[in-house]
Amino acid sequence: MKLDEFFVTGDPLIYGADVSIALTMIGAIFVLTYFKKWKWLWTEWLTTVDHKKLGVMYIIAAVLMLFRGGVDALLMRAQLTVPDSSFLDANHYNEIFTTHGTIMIIFMAMPFLIGLINVVVPLQIGARDVAYPFLNAVSFWTFFMGAMLFNISFVIGGSPSAGWTSYVPLAGLELSPGVGQNYYLLGLQIAGIGTLLTGINFLVTILKMRVPSMKLMQMPMFTWSSLITMVIIIFAFPVLTVALALMTFDRLFGSHFFTMMDGGMPMLWANLFWIWGHPEVYIVILPAFGMFSEIISTFARKTLFGYKAMVYSMVVIAGLSFLVWVHHFFTMGAGGAVNSFFSITTMLIAVPTGVKIFNWLFTLYKGRIRFTTAMLWSLAFIPNFVIGGVTGVMLAMAAADYQYHNTYFLVAHFHYVLISGTVYACFAGLYFWYPKMFNHRLNERLGKWSFWIFVAGFNLCFFPMYFLGLAGMPRRIYTYGIGDGWMSLNVLATFGGVLMGIGFLILVYNIYYSFRYSPRETTGDPWDARTLEWSTPAPVPHYNFAHLPEAKGHDAFWIMKEEKKQGKAPEKKPYKPIHMPSYSGVPIIMSVFFFTAGFGMVFSWHWMSILGLVGVLATMVIRSFDYDKGFYVSVEEIEETEKKTTL
Amino acid sequence: MSNNEQTNSHSHFPWSHLIGFGLSIVLTLLALWVGFASDFSFRTIMIIVVILALIQAAIQLLMFMHITESDSSRIQVGTILYAVFIAVAIVAGTIWVMSFGMHNMNM
Amino acid sequence: MESVEYSPNTPLEYQSETGRLNILGFWIFLGAEIALFSTLFATYLVLVGRTAGGPGPEELFEISGVLIETFLLLTSSFTCGLAIHYMRNHSLKGVFLWIGVTLALGLGFLGFEIYEFVHYIHEGAALTTSAYWSGFFVLVGTHGAHVTMGIAWISLILIQLKQRGLTPDTTRKVFISSLYWHFLDVVWIFIFTAVYLYGMVM
């Protein structure tokens, strides 16, 4: 392979990206060296197994990916603003909508949510760490390396261009002969390992690591939603693993699962992809529901309405989410019986979701509402998500779907559920739990500016798309003619997209601004909140709780505060040594080998893939022979830390 | 801790393993007989052998893997039952959904 | 956290927090494995008959080889159970003996499977021949890869057992690997039924 085939050439945008990547890397290396931070980076962050730090790293990675995916989105909007635009060529446009979709779902939404789950859930259940701290680090690093592998595709070798769903035959070897599709397959495969491990880890954590006094039906709603999400992850991700592996075999080793020749079934790919893909939608929405529940309850100063109904509706969603996948390809023509069945299950799954909407409304009813930024995001979520949900029920009708399928109506629908559901929740959760992570709040004034601009931009961007869809504009076209009559609505949408970008930039500026100017936290409970994570002092010690808290019902921390007001202060017990796991460099090294193996397979450099896989196995063997049992935090250290904290 | 049934007091001969092994062999041979020596229809044969396989899987889970022995046995059994639901949804669902292409089987 | 008193009847592998958590976690991992193999079975079953004019299973499958593989694996699952039985009676010798037998049977199974694969490829049925054979080789091959991993993994645990004897840590590892081994037998039961019996009776 020649060097000019290896590096993507010939496009000024890519050269710009090359330069900015090089400059960022040089900048990072310079800063780390100049401030002598290499050792700190390695010992405090890269080898950490602390769930709070891993959570923060997930969120940082997710915000970077949100930037990348957002730039992709704005490039698409720029191209579509006016008819017959020649800003991007067809192939470049295809690459951009492919990476936009993949990155936003797999490398932005999921890590953002998993990051918040990492930070918050162990604190909410009164645990000192997760069930498998080492695996938690493996999860993060495999996700991170998978994301990096996917992302380097646009400067080395070329990006995938067959859509985030990668339907065959388009994604097959004949029609996508380059390495781009291989990047997609291996990047997702490596990141998927991490996600599956997260699923097992947090399922066991939530079930077995709660403080003994907390019953299942007393868990905070965010913990409940995480629990259900983990169940879905555990059973959905293996399906993706297999689907990706089969396509990898088709492309690299000449098998015939999805090929047009020799008996392959191209639509089998769509079938397998969506068996994972639909549960995936619930994986990214259920934690969002959990966060909104916490935030609405906190800022309405009321306990959550219909707790049990919330839990049971999520359990029903978890079961039904595996029985609706065909609604993504009604137009395949599987026949009346199949389409009817999946049409009905799809409409059924709207019922528990509707139940939850009413629960939030009743929680707000007669509440003394505080309009913080986190609360604003949660309040905007309700009407916007209802629009997305109702249009979803329209799409669920198989016969009607033949009309909407593959139009901007669908694009508008899933952005309405994913942005007003997942992205609003990520922002709401970030504002809400930010003081827990960084010991200061984000500025509320900037937060409200960013909120109003983003929400206005979002509705301006995507509401017109419903009408573009009804006017017949198909998705994934790179341009359209002047005679199609789609221009005015597209201009509107682009304007909205720019506003969303500005809203995001204000959020990023807010992070910098608050770091500089926000007052440091003096208590661990800035919002007068209700659940146990707020009972920890500021900053949260690495062992989380000096004494394990006691949960006496829903809103355990609220009950503790009420008892304190009545003068029932908990007696001071002596500290005991706390057992904590040791940090380890094995996860990051193992993930680098995963990356090596993946990169080798992308280019079919078998020596490199074998080297990588041997490395992976070697690190596993090293781990197996490692009998490190962790360490004990001494009573003196606990006393010292607890004196310094501010509660 | 107290409900760890499979305990060290079982120091006598491992009967449950032996019975499980015997049953597995019998069930395998039975499936073989149904498949090759019986004159049931193809459909009946497949139903019977799948049921036999499920019984054999249950024997492994209960008698060899002691799924019910630990504190977390309810979670373990729940996981496997939910996995069976998923397995049925994936296998039966996929066969049903993809059956639209069966008329051009030998392409 | 380890100050709990354990009844002497509690097996060693359940006597530590790590032991109990890891065993539960592995059960949940097996749940994920069920989803993984279900997807492979589903794929295989919809590809049955799609031989693109090439050889089909009814021409190539032979009952004798399949039966040998089945009984080898079945017996290895039994001997693996015996190893756990002896582990709970604190007999390190018994553990070594029966795990040794288990590994030998596992290797025997692998040998026959490799022979079977080579034979099919020789007869003109390979991964690249047709959709049907792609499905066959990937389903049965994934199981075979699991068996290979299992043999390597259990061998490593034997070394640790040799170094450290029966402790809560080593017994935990032996017990978890035994769950894995039994699970592979469960998967084989379904391969025997859905691939071989189905293929030959059809």
Chain B CB within 8 Å of residue A326 CB: yes
Cite the beta strand spans of A369-409 per DSSP E.
Answer: none
Chain B CB within 8 Å of residue A323 CB: yes
Amino acid C161 reads: L
pLDDT-based confidence at A646, cuts 50/70/90?
low
State whether A338 and B100 contact (CB < 8 Å).
yes
- Contact (Cβ atoms closer than 8 angstroms) between residue A295 and residue A357: no
State whether B89 and A323 contact (CB < 8 Å).
yes
Q: What is the pLDDT of residues A129-162, one digit of tens each?
A: 999 999 999 999 999 999 999 999 988 989 999 9
State whether B82 and A272 contact (CB < 8 Å).
no
> Residue ranges of the domains in chain C?
13-201
Q: Are residues B49 and B1 in the same domain?
A: yes
- Contact (Cβ atoms closer than 8 angstroms) between residue C21 and residue A208: yes
State whether A263 and B107 contact (CB < 8 Å).
yes
How many CB pairs below 8 A link A and C?
111
What single DSSP character describes residue A541? P
- Contact (Cβ atoms closer than 8 angstroms) between residue A549 and residue A211: yes
* pLDDT given for residue A571 in this prediction: 74
For chain C, positions 49-108, list CB contacts with chain B under 8 A: 49-53, 63, 67, 70-71, 74-75, 77-78, 80-82, 85, 88-90
**Mean of the pLDDT values across residues A333-359?**
93
Amino acid A86 reads: S
State whether B98 and A323 contact (CB < 8 Å).
no
CA distances from A574 to A68, A128, A546, A633, A638 (A): 50, 18, 10, 14, 11
Residue A176 backbone dihedrals phi, psi, to 5 degrees: -130, 75
Q: What is the pLDDT of residues C136-173, one digit of tens each?
A: 999 999 999 999 999 999 999 999 999 999 999 999 99
- Give the domain range for residue B1: 1-66
Q: What is the pLDDT of residues A154-185, one digit of tens each?
A: 889 899 999 999 999 999 999 999 899 999 99
Report the distance separating Cα A441 and Cα A538, nearest Å. Answer: 12
Residue-averaged pLDDT of chain C? 93
Q: Under CATH, which architecture does the C13-201 domain have?
A: Up-down Bundle (1.20)
Strand partners, A633: A578
Report the distance separating Cα A450 and Cα A442, nearest Å. Answer: 12
**Mean of the pLDDT values across residues A391-409?**
94
Q: What is the percentage of chain C residues whose pLDDT exceeds 90?
A: 86
Residue A297 backbone dihedrals phi, psi, to 5 degrees: -65, -40
Residue A370 backbone dihedrals phi, psi, to 5 degrees: -105, 125
Chain A CB within 8 Å of residue B18 CB: no
Residue A554: name the closest of A370, A351, A286, A363 by CA.
Answer: A363
pTM, two decimal places: 0.94
Q: What is the pLDDT of residues A29-72, one digit of tens each?
A: 999 899 988 999 999 999 999 999 999 999 999 999 999 999 99
Provide the 10 A C-beta neighbour count for residue A284: 25
pLDDT-based confidence at A291, cuts 50/70/90?
very high
C200 to chain B, closest Cα gap in Å:
8
Provide the 10 A C-beta neighbour count for residue A483: 7
Report the distance separating Cα A285 and Cα A350, nearest Å. Answer: 13
Residue A429: name the closest of A476, A475, A377 by CA.
Answer: A377
Evaluate the omega torsion of the peptide bond into residue A464 and state whether it is cis, within 30 degrees of 0.
Answer: no
Which residues of C fall below an 8 Å CB-CB distance to A? 1-2, 20-22, 24-25, 28-29, 31-33, 35-36, 39-40, 42-43, 46-47, 50-52, 127-132, 134-135, 137-138, 153, 156-157, 160, 164, 169, 173
C130 to chain A, closest Cα gap in Å:
5
3-state SS, residue A255: coil
State whether A234 and C39 contact (CB < 8 Å).
no
CA-angle at A548, arms to A543 and A550, nearest 5°: 150
* pLDDT given for residue C1 in this prediction: 41
Q: Are residues B9 and B27 in the same domain?
A: yes
**Mean of the pLDDT values across residues A585-594?**
96
Q: Which residue has the tokens 């807010």?
A: A510
Reading the block at residue A30, the tokens are: 């310079």
Report the distance separating Cα A440 and Cα A44, nearest Å. Answer: 20
- Contact (Cβ atoms closer than 8 angstroms) between residue C46 and residue B94: yes
- Contact (Cβ atoms closer than 8 angstroms) between residue A451 and residue A511: no
Provide the 10 A C-beta neighbour count for residue C93: 8
Q: What is the pLDDT of residues A465-478, one digit of tens each?
A: 999 999 999 999 99
For chain B, positions 24-83, list CB contacts with chain C under 8 A: 24-25, 28, 31-32, 35-36, 42, 45-46, 49-50, 52-53, 56-57, 60-61, 63-65, 67, 70-72, 75-76, 79-80, 82-83
Give the number of domains in chain B: 2
- Contact (Cβ atoms closer than 8 angstroms) between residue A432 and residue A527: yes
Burial per residue of A423-456, b for 16 or more beta-carbon CB atoms within 10 angstroms, e otherwise: bbbbbbbbbbbbbbbbbbbbbbebbebbbebbbe
Q: Are residues B56 and B86 in the same domain?
A: no
Q: What is the pLDDT of residues A487-526, one digit of tens each?
A: 999 999 999 999 999 999 999 999 999 999 999 988 889 9
Which residues in chain C have Cβ-Cβ distances shorter than 8 Å to A272?
39, 42-43
Q: Are residues B61 and B80 in the same domain?
A: no
Query: Nearest chain C Cα to B57, which residue?
Result: C186
Residue-averaged pLDDT of chain B? 84
Report the distance separating Cα A501 and Cα A461, nearest Å. Answer: 11
* pLDDT given for residue B102 in this prediction: 52
Residue C195: name the closest of C52, C61, C72, C38 by CA.
Answer: C61
Is residue B2's pLDDT more than 70?
no
Residue B89 gets the label, from left (phi > 0), alpha (psi -120 to 50) or beta, of alpha
How many CB pairs below 8 A link A and B?
42
State whether B4 and C190 contact (CB < 8 Å).
no
Give the neighbours of chain B: at least 3 Cβ pairs within 8 Å. Answer: A, C
Report the distance separating Cα A523 and Cα A531, nearest Å. Answer: 15
State the sign of the Cα–Cα–Cα–Cα dihedral A526, A532, A533, A539.
positive
How many CB pairs below 8 A link B and C?
168
Q: Are residues B80 and B35 in the same domain?
A: no
State the sign of the Cα–Cα–Cα–Cα dihedral A596, A598, A600, A606.
positive
Query: Nearest chain C Cα to B101, which residue?
Result: C46
* pLDDT given for residue C4 in this prediction: 58
Chain A CB within 8 Å of residue B82 CB: yes
Which residues in chain A have Cβ-Cβ distances shorter than 8 Å to B89?
322-323
User: Which stretch of A233-247, A453-467, B49-63 has the lowest confidence by average pLDDT?
Assistant: B49-63
- Contact (Cβ atoms closer than 8 angstroms) between residue A188 and residue A106: yes
pLDDT-based confidence at B11, cuts 50/70/90?
low
- Contact (Cβ atoms closer than 8 angstroms) between residue A441 and residue A518: yes
Q: What is the pLDDT of residues C42-71, one digit of tens each?
A: 999 999 999 988 899 988 999 999 999 999
Q: Are residues B54 and B79 in the same domain?
A: no
- Contact (Cβ atoms closer than 8 angstroms) between residue A126 and residue A211: yes
- Sequence-separated (6 or more) residues with CB below 8 Å from residue A561: none
Find which of C36, C47, C176, C180 to mutate to test the A interface (most A CBs within 10 Å of its CB).
C36
- Contact (Cβ atoms closer than 8 angstroms) between residue C25 and residue A202: no
Is residue C88's pLDDT more than 60?
yes
- Sequence-separated (6 or more) residues with CB below 8 Å from residue A397: A343, A347
B1 to chain A, closest Cα gap in Å:
14
3-state SS, residue A233: helix
Q: Are residues B62 and B80 in the same domain?
A: no
Report the distance separating Cα A164 and Cα A185, nearest Å. Answer: 11
Which residues in chain A have Cβ-Cβ distances shorter than 8 Å to C138?
245-246, 249, 255, 257
Evaluate the omega torsion of the peptide bond into residue A279 and state whether it is cis, within 30 degrees of 0.
Answer: no
Q: At what angle do helices B73-98 and C17-47 cross, to 10 degrees?
A: 10
Give the neighbours of chain C: at least 3 Cβ pairs within 8 Å. Answer: A, B
Q: Are residues B32 and B53 in the same domain?
A: yes
State whether C88 and B25 contact (CB < 8 Å).
no
3-state SS, residue C135: helix
Strand partners, A440: A520
What single DSSP character describes residue A434? H
Amino acid A447 reads: G
Residue B5: name the closest of B71, B73, B77, B69 by CA.
Answer: B69
**Mean of the pLDDT values across residues A597-613?**
96
Residue A645 gets the label, from left (phi > 0), alpha (psi -120 to 50) or beta, of beta
CA B34 to chain centre: 17
State whether B90 and A268 contact (CB < 8 Å).
no
B36 to chain C, closest Cα gap in Å:
7
Reading the block at residue A54, the tokens are: 């891993």
Q: Which residue has the tokens 């004494």?
A: A547
Provide the 10 A C-beta neighbour count for residue A640: 10
B82 to chain A, closest Cα gap in Å:
9
Report the distance separating Cα A331 and Cα A44, nearest Å. Answer: 52
**Mean of the pLDDT values across residues A438-461?**
97
Q: At what angle do helices A133-151 and A180-208 cross, to 10 degrees?
A: 160
Which residues in chain B have Cβ-Cβ distances shorter than 8 Å to A319?
85
| Of the partner residues B25, B80, B94, the one whose CB lies closest to the CB of residue C42 | B94
State whether A579 and C2 contact (CB < 8 Å).
yes
Reading the block at residue A48, the tokens are: 């950490």
Residue A26 burial (C-beta neighbours within 10 Å; 0-12, 13-18, 19+): exposed
State whether C35 and A239 contact (CB < 8 Å).
yes
Q: Which residue has the tokens 């709970």?
A: C88
State whether C10 and B53 contact (CB < 8 Å).
no
Is residue C8's pLDDT more than 80?
no
Amino acid A541 reads: P
State whether A234 and C32 contact (CB < 8 Å).
yes
Is residue A202's pLDDT more than 90?
yes
State the sign of the Cα–Cα–Cα–Cα dihedral A559, A564, A569, A573.
positive
Q: Are residues B26 and B60 in the same domain?
A: yes
Residue-averaged pLDDT of chain A? 94
Residue A628: name the closest of A591, A588, A584 by CA.
Answer: A584
Q: What is the percentage of chain A residues whose pLDDT exceeds 90?
A: 87
State whether C1 and A265 contact (CB < 8 Å).
no
Q: Are residues B60 and B9 in the same domain?
A: yes
Chain A CB within 8 Å of residue B75 CB: yes
Chain B CB within 8 Å of residue C185 CB: yes
Amino acid A535 reads: S
Q: Are residues B25 and B62 in the same domain?
A: yes
